[in-house]
């Protein structure tokens, strides 16, 4: 089943609760929360207090995408704030295994994210621990960029690695996803679709969630190439 993960980065920050309500009512399963520190990526967003405030208004899976240096220092704070899933970038820590262990030890789901230039082999020895692999289809830091098409074969490679390992982990694709690109990502093996500007950049974000899902489900019905 394809899951939708609207990214709040593209929402109107002056009325977050209202915007979240619209995608939740449309059946989006995840709420993708992009955490940026101005160091790991050249942009700054928000921290645990905002996540905790939003938690009161939503039952969606809170999917925290950490794009920060020294993630180990902040993992606990985001879990206390209500994260259901925390994803760390493989490039953000020399101790990826430890960071994932810290998340799993708190009893929530853990993800590992890869920048576009990072080889899939870096996740090989943590595949058994993670619930999700996030494939960045753009360079992290900003919404509204075009999907890098070389990330489609990378999704296929990760799908094959998971299959070989017998892992049920989700493959999340993040960046440049909309009605045209969602089917391509799903055909390659993505199961969770992050969509920022193609959802919150539209006048009706709920309708956008439904349309992107529909485009992707059509693709899922096709035989695998």
Q: Please say if 34 is a catalytic residue.
A: yes
Helix, strand or coil, per DSSP, at residue 25: helix
Q: Is 45 in the site for ligand DX5 (CB under 6 A)?
A: no
Q: Is 205 in the site for ligand DX5 (CB under 6 A)?
A: no
Output the CA–CA distances (angstroms, integers) from residue 59 to 20, 21, 102, 172, 199, in the order listed.
10, 10, 24, 20, 19
Q: Please identify which of the residues 34, 37, 63, 131 carries the catalytic annotation.
A: 34
Nearest residue by C-beta to Zn ion? 65
What's the closest the beta carbon of residue 63 comes to ligand DX5, in angstroms?
Answer: 10
As to burial, measured by CB atoms within 10 angstroms (0-12 exposed, 13-18 middle, 19+ buried), residue 132 is: buried
Q: Judged by CB under 5 A, which of 3, 22, 65, 156 binds Zn ion? A: 65
String of b and e for 48-63 (b: at least 16 CB within 10 Å)? bebbeebbeebebbbb
Q: Please identify which of the residues 80, 160, 174, 221 carries the catalytic annotation.
A: 174
Closer residue to Zn ion in complex, CB, 152/194: 194
Q: Is 141 in the site for ligand DX5 (CB under 6 A)?
A: yes
Of 71, 58, 84, nearest in space to 170 by CA: 84
DSSP string, 111-161: EEEE-TTS-GGGGGGGTTT-SEEEEESS-TT-SSPPP-TTHHHHHHHHHHH
What's the closest the beta carbon of residue 5 comes to ligand DX5, in angstroms?
Answer: 8
Of 189, 181, 205, nearest in space to 2 by CA: 189
Count the site residues for Zn ion by CB under 5 A: 3
Sign of CA dihedral 6, 9, 12, 14: positive
Stretches 75-83, 92-100, 139-147, 179-187: which one binds ligand DX5 (CB under 6 A)? 139-147
Closer residue to ligand DX5 in complex, CB, 14/164: 14
Return the residues of window 163-192 that contact ligand DX5 according to CB under 6 A: 174-177
Q: Please say if 12 is a catalytic residue.
A: no
Closer residue to ligand DX5 in complex, CB, 6/48: 6
Residues annotated as catalytic are 34, 174
Residues that bind Zn ion (CB under 5 A): 34, 65, 174
């Amino acid at each position: 089943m394809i899951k939708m993960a609207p990214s709040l980065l593209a929402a109107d920050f002056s009325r977050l609760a209202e915007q979240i309500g619209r995608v939740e009512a449309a059946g989006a399963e995840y709420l993708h929360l992009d955490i940026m520190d101005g160091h790991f990526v050249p942009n700054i967003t928000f921290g645990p207090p905002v996540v905790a405030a939003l938690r009161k208004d939503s039952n969606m899976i809170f999917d925290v995408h950490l794009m920060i240096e020294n993630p180990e220092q902040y993992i606990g704070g985001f879990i206390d704030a209500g994260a259901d899933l925390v994803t760390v970038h493989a490039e953000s820590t020399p101790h990826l295994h430890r960071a994932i262990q810290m998340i799993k030890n708190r009893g929530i789901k853990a993800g590992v994210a890869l920048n576009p230039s990072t080889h899939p082999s870096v996740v090989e020895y943590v595949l058994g621990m993670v619930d999700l692999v996030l494939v960045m289809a753009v360079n992290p830091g900003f919404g509204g960029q075009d999907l890098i098409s070389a990330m489609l074969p990378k999704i296929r490679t990760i799908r094959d690695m998971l299959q070989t390992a017998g892992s049920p982990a989700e493959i999340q694709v993040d960046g440049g996803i909309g009605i045209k690109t969602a089917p391509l990502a799903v055909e390659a093996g993505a199961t969770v679709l992050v969509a920022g500007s193609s959802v919150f950049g539209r006048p009706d974000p709920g309708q956008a969630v439904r349309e992107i899902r529909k485009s992707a489900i059509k693709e899922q019905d096709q035989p695998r190439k």
